[in-house]
Amino acid sequence: MSEPLVAENRKRGNGAAPRAVPPPAPAAAPAAPGQASPDVAAILDKVLGGGEVSVMEGARLFDAAGGDLAPLFAAADALRRQAVGDVVTYVVNRNINFTNVCVKRCGFCAFSRGHSGQEGYFLPQDEVLRRAREAAEMGSTEICVQAGLAPGMDGWHYVKLCRAVKEALPDLHVHGFSPEEVLYGSSLAGVTIRDYLLALKDVGLGSLPGTSAEILIDRVRDVISPGRITTAQWFEVIGTAHRLGIRSTSTMMYGHVETALDKATHLDLLRRLQKETGGFTEFVPLGFIYEEAPMFHRRRPEGLREGPSGIETLKMYAVSRIMLHGWIPNIQVSWVKEGPKLVQVGLMTGANDLGGTLINESISTAAGAHHGQLLTPAKFRALAREMGRTPAERSTTYGIRRLFADPAQDPLDALDRVENADKLFGSYRQLVQDSKFRFKDAYKPGSGLQPAAGG
């Protein structure tokens, strides 16, 4: 490693994460309109010439303003073209968030409910399978399964759920269970993280979402999500998964209390692990949605922002492309958080993937996002073409399933025929009001979940 390391990230839990870097120098003044600052120009020349951007240089790029922005975005777009060409990808998938009941109380999460709340729900295995079958019938190649950490849950529930889905729908890719869930399941089951991941792999788990990362610096995590999985534990789960041949996404949630250096450090930590394992399929930046976040309304942390601005979002796509260049080729936008208009512009600043159709979306919706729960394949293709790009449907691991070079040959997919997603698939608001799946009716303190709700 080329830079001296300091103990910014404490070594906690069962594994050790890479450490962070020294404090940054004061930010340079914004460049004048129409010209880049000399230091920013030098950094961009370096990466365009094949060099690797350091953490301190990445932090400087996150602070770019004024005349620095256009060359920053142009450099990121050039690297995108070099890495993946002019194809814009998307995946046809469905989210299945099988419970919103959670033992943790993260300050940014408006999705979770307590075990005794009226809005707490838990989908039994039969309902998860019904949703998975419906997704496959609508053309989905993937289901993304994540949820809260429900009390009283069988530690092997994730394994049993994955097995049931793969037995019923062997061709459907299960992209499931965050590092937090893997840690929770292994703790409840009394086995090591490695053994738990092996059990998931044995029943057909396809890949892991690299969520619950937020900012991979414990100082920040202690503010926004005290008591949650630590940085070291996150790296232990993800690193172990990669070494077992289970690939994962990587993520960052930003726009709250983190600094430019924190974001650059986070990207560097992901880059270091990728150099070792090669297991990340993509990087997905996720803007903090503040409207319903508990920490925005109660005991607001000092310096808490109202999520990222539009320019901050575009800089995130650009700097992540620049720092991860050569290691993680795919940068995904989040239409459910940012909306189709802004993520379309993100395709000009380093991003190349539009994400998934989703079909159902609960977590961002609960936090206050207003962009719906379904984006159709036809809409993805239109967004890409308007930017002069070629749309393609991909697999979870970025194999190209269908390339749509000629608009006249586009199919009318099943999801393109959907006129009212809430009515056909149900919405999060409907789900939390449905007494059929109410968690408190199935949960008995001391004896856990009853079989009817536990699957």
Spell out the domains of the chain, with CATH numbers in brackets. Answer: 81-431 (3.20.20.70)
Residues 351-389 have pLDDT tens digits of 999 999 999 876 656 555 566 789 999 999 999 999 999
pLDDT recorded at residue 293: 76
Give the number of other Cβ atoms within 10 Å of residue 347's Cβ.
24
- What is the longest distance spanned by two Cα atoms in the chain? 67
Amino acid sitting at position 254: Y
Estimate the crossing angle of helix 193-202 against helix 231-243, to 10 degrees.
40
Query: Which tokens hold the place of 455?
Result: 């699957």
Are 258 and 373 in contact, with CB atoms under 8 Å apart? no
pLDDT band, very low/low/confident/very high, at 46 (cuts 50, 70, 90): very high
More confident residue, 100 or 18: 100
**Confidence (pLDDT) at 50:** 97
Most confident residue range from 297-301, 430-434, 441-445: 430-434
pLDDT score of 166 more than 80: yes
48 Cβ neighbours under 8 A, 6+ residues apart: 75, 78, 79
Question: At 296, is the pLDDT very low, low, confident or very high (cuts 50, 70, 90)?
Answer: confident
Check whether 6 has a pLDDT greater than 50: no
- Look at residue 429 in the predicted model and tell me its pLDDT: 84
pLDDT at 345 over 80: yes
pLDDT of residue 110: 64
Q: pLDDT tens across 105-164, in order?
A: 776 766 657 665 778 899 999 999 999 999 999 999 999 999 999 999 999 999 999 999
* pLDDT given at position 368: 58
Buried b (16+ CB within 10 A) or exposed e, 382-396: ebbeeeebbbbbbbb
* Tokens representing residue 310 in the block: 């539009």
Q: Which of 39-48, 150-159, 201-210, 421-430 has the lowest mean pLDDT?
A: 421-430
How far is the CA of 112 from the CAs of 40, 102, 255, 334, 366, in angstroms?
42, 6, 20, 21, 9
Average pLDDT estimate for 51-55: 98
- 209-253 pLDDT, tens digit per residue, is 999 999 999 999 999 988 899 999 999 999 999 999 999 999 999
Residue 130: what are its φ and ψ, rounded to 5°?
A: -60, -45
- Cα–Cα distance, 440 to 180 (Å, whole number): 23
Both structure tokens of 404: 């749509």
Q: Checking DSSP bridges between strand 353-356 and strand 280-287, what pairing results, if any?
A: unpaired
What digits encode the pLDDT tens for the residues 389-417?
Answer: 999 999 999 999 999 999 999 999 999 99
Amino acid (one-letter) located at 188: L
Q: Which two tokens stand for residue 408?
A: 């006249």
The 10 Å Cβ neighbour count of residue 426 is: 15
**Cα distance between residue 335 and residue 358, in whole Å:** 10
Phi and psi torsions of 290, nearest 5°: -95, -20
